Amino acid sequence: MKFLKSTLYIFLPVLLLNSCRDYVEVEPVGNNRVLKYTSDYRGLANNYNNITASGGIYLLANADVEFPTTYQSSVSTIWGNSYTWKETIYDVSQGDSDWINLYKAVYYSNVILDGVMSSEKGTEAEKKEIYAEAFVHRAFAYLQLVNTYGPQFDPASDNSEKAVPLLLKPLLYSSLERNTVGEVYDQIISDLKNALANDIQDNPNFNVLPSKRAVYALLARTYLLMGQYDLSLENAQKVLAMQNTLIDLKGLASAYSYPVLIQNQEVIFSKTLLLTYNGAPLAQDLLNSYSVDDLRYNYYTAAGTSFYPSYTGRGFGIYTYSYTNGINIGVSVPEMYLILAECYARAGNTQSAIDNLNILRAKRYKTGTVYAVSASTSKEALDLVLLERQKEFIGRGFRWFDQRRLNLDPLYQKTYTRVFKGETYTLEPNSDGYVFPIHQNYIDLNPELGN
């Protein structure tokens, strides 16, 4: 019995019946329901609730989060285990929502890739558009999976360590043998390039739909995580030539004026953090890094009393302030500016790094205050960029991915310690604690996952 596939076999017909009823036409065959028309596949591709949730367990493990002592007794075992980098996160009665939701997106993508081009009552252009989108959804899911359950990609190694299974066909039963880190990254890049080769659309109606600039942005993120900075820079430049709008926080009446996710002009491609992780307390040293003139403190964070269970301190605030569909962990315009700045700094182009950093900072500070920074060396510029990433991406868990990749550089390696319920826990650079374990339930049902 293969747990992942048999689970999908059970719930996929239910999802098609309930989640897509309004806009998916299906025909029964015996006791099954099948996708037949191009509009069926469009409905499946537009199933926002089931294709956008993209994990986030790493948010609790990263250095952005700090559980106050009085808060620790109220958190679940899952939160506590993740926060302390345990070898086991879930017990036998629990499921791994990150794993399930990401592989659900993979399965939906595979169903579309396998069938949409032979569907009926659709033009070739319509079919190709849906086909191209599915490559992007699958690539994003695998980028999340490999950076949650696999070791960090190392440009100086062959990346032969085992990561996660690459499932590329919508088969209900198949081997779940894990592929290597290198193989997963190769597939991510291949999928994104296939989206471009199949003329992914330029301007979708909503930012939850993949686009050409979303592909370039995901390539920029992927290459950054791979340490291939020239390619990351090149793709970020392509994105900003197509979309470069930043929200000027000075122009908002208050934090409650922050735009809803689907209307946010900074968002290039929306994917969301699982809301179960919303409200995690933010680390005090991170909060202290905001100057009194930085509007992000009041616009991106909210008092701990806004969450349940409540606590003294502050948590990530955008979901509290803005009626929205989730917390975006997809690609965005601010991310592209910060990628440009980092890649320029690493290339020794200090002034270009600072220029791009200041473009973003100009939109984040109070009117009439000094927002511009300067640097005399590329190392100083890089330090400023990395600090800005922490402040801009607060509450999304991106810090975890930065911690993982920066561990490869002795200049940025750091040992983290936490005290939880009276015990001290330590996370060493490049330790096993940076790789989330695959749930033992899944290994028991699929022993190849443990190899």
* CA–CA gap between residue 446 and residue 225 (Å, rounded): 29
Residue 180, classed as helix, strand or coil, is strand
Q: What proportion of the chain, given as a percentage, has pLDDT over 70? A: 93
What are the tokens at 232? 């990351």
pLDDT at residue 61 tops 90: yes
Rg, C-alpha atoms of the chain: 22
pLDDT at residue 23 tops 70: no
pLDDT at residue 385 tops 90: yes
Domain definitions of the chain by residue range: 3-250+329-450
pLDDT on residue 322 = 87
Q: What is the DSSP string of 292-318?
A: TTBTHHHHHEEEGGGSSS--SSEEE-H
Instruction: Give the bridge partners for 375, in sequence order.
Output: none
* Predicted confidence (pLDDT) per residue in 73-121, tens digit: 999 999 999 999 999 999 999 999 999 999 999 999 999 999 999 999 9
* Predicted confidence (pLDDT) per residue in 150-200, tens digit: 999 999 999 999 999 999 999 878 889 999 999 999 999 999 999 999 999
**pLDDT confidence band for 432 (50 / 70 / 90):** very high
- Fold of the 3-250+329-450 domain: 1.25.40
pLDDT at residue 16 tops 50: no
What are the tokens at 101? 């939701």
Overall average pLDDT of the 286-291 stretch: 97
* Predicted confidence (pLDDT) per residue in 313-345, tens digit: 999 999 889 878 789 999 999 999 999 999 999
Scored b (16 or more CB within 10 A) or e, 164-197 reads bbbbeebeeeeebebbbbbbbbebbbebbebbee
* Predicted confidence (pLDDT) per residue in 83-95, tens digit: 999 999 999 999 9
Give the DSSP H/E element, type plus range, for residue 236.
helix 229-242
Range scoring the smallest mean pLDDT among 32-46, 153-167, 206-220? 32-46
Q: What proportion of the chain, given as a percentage, has pLDDT over 90? A: 86
pLDDT on residue 33 = 52
- Give 385 or 49, the one with higher predicted confidence: 385
pLDDT at residue 273 tops 60: yes
Residues 6+ apart with CB under 8 A from 394: 64, 282, 286, 296, 300, 301, 316
* CA–CA gap between residue 187 and residue 185 (Å, rounded): 5
pLDDT at residue 355 tops 50: yes
What amino acid is encoded at 16 in this protein?
A: L
The torsion angles phi and psi of 167, rounded to 5 degrees, stand at -105, 115
* CA–CA gap between residue 244 and residue 150 (Å, rounded): 32
Q: How far apart are the first and last CA of the chain?
A: 17
Q: What is the DSSP string of 383-409?
A: HHHHHHHHHHTTTTTHHHHHHHHHTTS
pLDDT on residue 94 = 96
Q: What integer best gives the mean pLDDT of the chain?
A: 91
pLDDT at residue 202 tops 70: yes
